[in-house]
Chain A
């Protein structure tokens, strides 16, 4: 959810571009079966706004854009992630030292 919202911070874009963006950032392959139900939920929660735009030489595309509520949620999730990743980093790198201290 954080990565999906984050991929929209540069402006409105469509589902396939979001998946490609995440893949380019080496965050793994996100299948359509996972991505669009999430985008639907974000839209239902008012975190993103969706609108169809005509495609050039192909089918139209549904563009998703962060709403004000979505931006607020993105900031909250970033802070939570920063804290979480900091906790994990501290734990993973201090574990041997802590273990030694405990055993000594």
Chain B
């Protein structure tokens, strides 16, 4: 793959939405408004204004609009409640249900095969809390994260590392059991969570309940098509769960 092809793929969205605008400038403009919680409709409108002006004036956007970030903020576009933390959590809920179902299914299934009850330890709880805290903080401080990817990676690893080491220490203690339940019913609950999470993911990919695409003016929203790659991605977690659940059966 050539460097030019890679570049054109990277800026495919910017070139589609604003072909007369420098894609680097457009990228920063879109990113700034996205991080500020502006809706896709308003972003599409504002970007089309820039593109139209650049096409008429043959000027570089930096020359006539200045910094993409400063210009984006100067427009004072309204923020969309669906783009806030509540919206992000709603969007992430199906994946969260899937991952929780996967963890419950695999741990309880393994316990069932070994003839043991399902045990939720303090260690697992600690890892879950560390993971949820990291993910929530990630969405709250997304702008900072994009500016400091290496430091973010280090902090993320440190938090999860503390969780894993802490869980190992807690699990090594005999008093670490928090809840003990029959294994097979827990597996059934886990599978049900997987089915619910996957159904929600597929519905979202087909009708777009949580996404907020950038809409170009004069282009009908009816043009939206089903994102089949998103539909396929929805099945990654259940397929992975099935594969991981078969491994201990084959090994026994």
CA separation between A41 and B65, bound complex, in Å? 16
Q: How far is the CB of B196 from chain A (nearest CB, A)?
A: 41
Count, chain A residues at interface, CB 8 A: 20
CB distance A59 to B48 under 8 Å? yes
Is B56 an interface residue when CB atoms closer than 8 A count as contact?
yes
Is B76 an interface residue when CB atoms closer than 8 A count as contact?
yes
Q: How far is the CB of B46 from chain A (nearest CB, A)?
A: 8
Is B64 an interface residue when CB atoms closer than 8 A count as contact?
yes
CA separation between A32 and B55, bound complex, in Å? 12
CA separation between A58 and B19, bound complex, in Å? 10
Q: Which of B20, B46, B66 contacts A33 (CB 8 A)?
A: B66
CA separation between A31 and B74, bound complex, in Å? 13
Q: How far is the CB of A33 from chain B (nearest CB, A)?
A: 4
List A contacts of B46 (CB < 8 A). 36
List B contacts of A96 (CB < 8 A). none
Q: Beyond A14-B52, A40-B76, is A54–B218 a contact (Cβ under 8 Å)?
A: yes
List B contacts of A60 (CB < 8 A). 48, 52, 217-218
Q: How far is the CB of B217 from chain A (nearest CB, A)?
A: 4
Number of A-B contacts (CB under 8 A): 67
List A contacts of B206 (CB < 8 A). none
Q: Beyond A16-B56, A37-B75, A59-B55, is A32–B50 a contact (Cβ under 8 Å)?
A: yes
| A17 to chain B: closest residue by CB | B56
B35-82 CB contacts (< 8 Å) to partner A: 45-46, 48-53, 55-57, 59, 61, 64-66, 70-71, 74-77
Q: How far is the CB of A65 from chain B (nearest CB, A)?
A: 15
Majority SS at the chain B contact face = helix
CB distance A61 to B52 under 8 Å? yes
Q: Which of A33, A52, A61 contacts B74 (CB 8 A)?
A: A33
- Contact count band on B: 20 to 34
CB distance A62 to B76 under 8 Å? no
A50-72 CB contacts (< 8 Å) to partner B: 52, 54-55, 58-62
CA separation between A37 and B76, bound complex, in Å? 8
Q: Beyond A37-B75, A37-B76, is A55–B64 a contact (Cβ under 8 Å)?
A: no
Chain B 162-198, CB-CB to A under 8 Å as 1, else 0, gives 0000000000000000000000000000000000000
| B62 to chain A: closest residue by CB | A33
CA separation between A60 and B218, bound complex, in Å? 8
Chain A 11-35, CB-CB to B under 8 Å as 1, else 0, gives 0001110010000000000011100
CB distance B20 to A59 under 8 Å? yes
Q: Which of A16, A40, A52 contacts B57 (CB 8 A)?
A: A16
Q: How far is the CB of B206 from chain A (nearest CB, A)?
A: 29
26 inter-chain pairs at a CB distance below 8 angstroms, sorted by A residue, are: A15-B49, A15-B52, A31-B64, A31-B65, A31-B66, A32-B50, A32-B53, A32-B61, A33-B64, A33-B66, A36-B46, A36-B53, A36-B65, A37-B71, A37-B74, A37-B75, A40-B75, A40-B76, A41-B76, A44-B76, A55-B52, A55-B55, A59-B20, A59-B51, A59-B55, A61-B52
Residues of B within 8 A of A (CB): 19-20, 45-46, 48-53, 55-57, 59, 61, 64-66, 70-71, 74-77, 217-218
Other 12 A-B pairs with CB < 8 A, given A15-B53, A60-B217: A15-B49, A16-B57, A31-B65, A31-B66, A32-B59, A33-B64, A52-B48, A55-B55, A59-B51, A59-B55, A60-B218, A62-B49
